[in-house]
Each structure stands twice: as C-alpha cells, then as structure tokens.
Amino acid sequence: METAFLLAGKIAELTLIVLMGFTLVKLKLLKSEQSYPLSVIALYLISPSVMLHAFQTDYSPEIADGLWLSLKLAVLFHIVLILLGRLLKALFRLDALEQAAMVYTNSGNLIIPLVAAIFGPKMVIYTSGFIIVQMFLFWTHLRILLCGSGKLSWKTVLTNINILAMLAGAAMFVLHIKLPAAIDGALATVGSMIGPVAMLVAGMLIASLPLKSIALSGRIYLIALLRLAVIPLLLLLLLKAGGFADGSELHSTVVLISFLAAISPAAATVTQMALVYGQNADKASAIYGVTTLLCVITMPLMIALYQWIM
C-alpha cells in the first residue's frame, strides 16, 4: 500500500502542473496555440535526451537481464494493447484518436518521474524497454493511425532523431561507451523536463476546450474507463496467469514498473503529434486531460490491487 500512496502523491504533483498551464492561458498570459513550440521541443529534444541518458549506466549482467526483461514485457504489452485497441474499435466504433488512447500511455512523461520518486533514480533505466518500444511505435503505428498507411516513410522512421537516440544509447550501453560528464549532465537536465513540459502543454491545450461540454461528454468518460480500468484489469489478469512477477526482487520490480507504464493515462505524445500533424488536437487533449486527472485515483487503486493479487 505504501507504493500506492507514494504514487498518488507524485501523480497529484504532476496534475498541479497541468493546472499551471491551464491558468497561464486563462489569465491570457499565453495562448493555447503557443504550446506548439513546446510540443516540438518535447518530441525532438527532450525525448531523445531521455533515451541517451537512460543508457549512461555501468554495464552489469544483472542490469542487462533487467533490461532484457523490460524489453520483452514491453513487446508483449504492446502486442496485447494493439490487439485490444482493434477489438475495442470494433466494439465501440472508436476513431483513430480514441484507438490511440487504448494503445499509447504516458509512459515517458509520467512514468520516469514516478519511478524515480518511488523506486529511486537508479531504477529509471528499467523504464527504457517500454519507452523504446513505444517510441518506435509512435513513429510507425501511431503515425499510420493519424496520417494513414500511405503516409509512412521508413526513411523518415529510421532517420528520426528519437529512433537514432534509442539505437545510439543501446549501442553505447553494450559497448561500455560513456559520454563526457558535461554532455551527460546536459542530457539529464533536459530530460528531467519531460514531465513538466508535457503537463504544461496539456494544461495549455485543455484551457481552450469547452470544459462544460467535456464534463458532460459520456464518450470521453467511456474512453477513460477503457483506458484506466478495463485495460489495466485485463493486463493484471495476464500477468497473474503467466506468473510474470515470480522471481527475484529486481525481477518483480521490473514487472511492476512495466505494469505501471501500461496502465498510465493516454499519452501526451498523441496530443503533441495530433498538433504537429494537423489532427484534432482538442479531442486528443480532452482525452489526455480527463484520463490524467482521473489517474490520480485509478493508478494507485490498480497498484494496490496488483500488490494484493500478485
């Protein structure tokens, strides 16, 4: 239960940052559309910095095993999430943004600061498996969802700075290559902004939405229910049936971190990419905003349930 309480407190902190961004727009100090440069910074500067810094750790067989487990769980979870997204699309007639909310979670913006606060900074590396898989899918599967299959260019994917940062970081970890302290320090400082910047962008976009209609929108709450309750419960059953949490303390912690990443609210990156690619960023923001606010309640409950069942 202690983990659940720590989680609730940290999520509450990040939610307050959403309200700060919201307040800046409501006070007319900024406009919602001025969140676009922040979205570009988050996608093309902060995210790559997180990836590169995450792998700047001393190599050991134990860490390598934990990373390999993290990667395997990430692949499994995303296969299940994509399949669930297609199933739920058929059952509830989800559009592209709603389907994306079923698959993609706020695993970078939210989970990195949560894991650092709850398990300690050294455990952040075990978020990289989920983030790496999701980041690759952001620029392939998600891009297809938002732009159509004809818009996918493998050259664009393979030359994307986020994918390159992922590959470079993994290569440096395996080859025991360390960046100069000043460079790694700069990456760490920039990467630490991933949570606050994403939350500010969300708050600024939410400020432009008709909040009354959102509050009365059953559709938004249906999406939130699927994302925050139905999918986490199905994943929990999968973990229990497969005995994934059995093993060493590190093994169990990596499974818990991966589960935490998979039950997060809808990804801020969906909102950012909707903005960049000219999709309905308002709707994406509404889904992100409502799921982020409600996750203050649902995520601690799911973690408490996880610890009780597992």
Residues 122 and 286: their CA atoms lie apart, in Å, by 34
CA-nearest of 295, 258, 51, 47 to 170 is 51
The C-alpha torsion from 121 through 6 and 235 to 72, rounded to 10°, is 10
CB 252 within 8 A of CB 121: no
The pLDDT of residue 165 is 86
The pLDDT of residue 123 is 82
CB 105 within 8 A of CB 269: no
Q: Which residues of 245-270 are buried (b: 16+ CB within 10 A; e: fewer)?
A: beeeeeeebbbbbbbbbbbbbbbbbb
Confidence of residue 285 (pLDDT cuts 50, 70, 90): confident
CATH architecture of 2-206+234-309: Up-down Bundle (1.20)
Which pTM was predicted?
Answer: 0.82
For residue 166 the two structure tokens come to 């992922």
Confidence of residue 104 (pLDDT cuts 50, 70, 90): very high
Q: Is the pLDDT of residue 246 over 80?
A: no
The pLDDT of residue 213 is 65
Residues 65 and 129: their CA atoms lie apart, in Å, by 12
- Number of residues assigned to the chain: 310
Confidence of residue 215 (pLDDT cuts 50, 70, 90): low
Mean pLDDT of 129-133: 86
Tally the C-alpha atoms within 13 A of residue 252's C-alpha that lie toward its C-beta: 8
Looking at per-residue confidence, does 160 or 68 come out higher? 68
CB 259 within 8 A of CB 239: yes
The pLDDT of residue 232 is 96
Q: Under 8 Å CB-to-CB from 28, ≥6 apart: which residues?
A: none
Q: What is the pLDDT of residues 249-281, one digit of tens each?
A: 888 899 999 999 999 999 877 877 787 777 787
CB 206 within 8 A of CB 275: no
Residues 71 and 83: their CA atoms lie apart, in Å, by 18
Mean pLDDT of 183-187: 93
CB 275 within 8 A of CB 121: no
The pLDDT of residue 153 is 59
Residues 103 and 84: their CA atoms lie apart, in Å, by 8
Average pLDDT value for the chain: 85
- Residue 105 DSSP one-character state: B
For residue 218 the two structure tokens come to 């059953």
Q: Is the pLDDT of residue 152 over 60?
A: no
CB 299 within 8 A of CB 263: yes
The pLDDT of residue 127 is 87
DSSP per residue, 32-73: GGGGHHHHHHIIIIIHHHHHHHHT-S---HHHHHHHHHHHHH
Single-letter residue type at 103: V
The pLDDT of residue 154 is 66
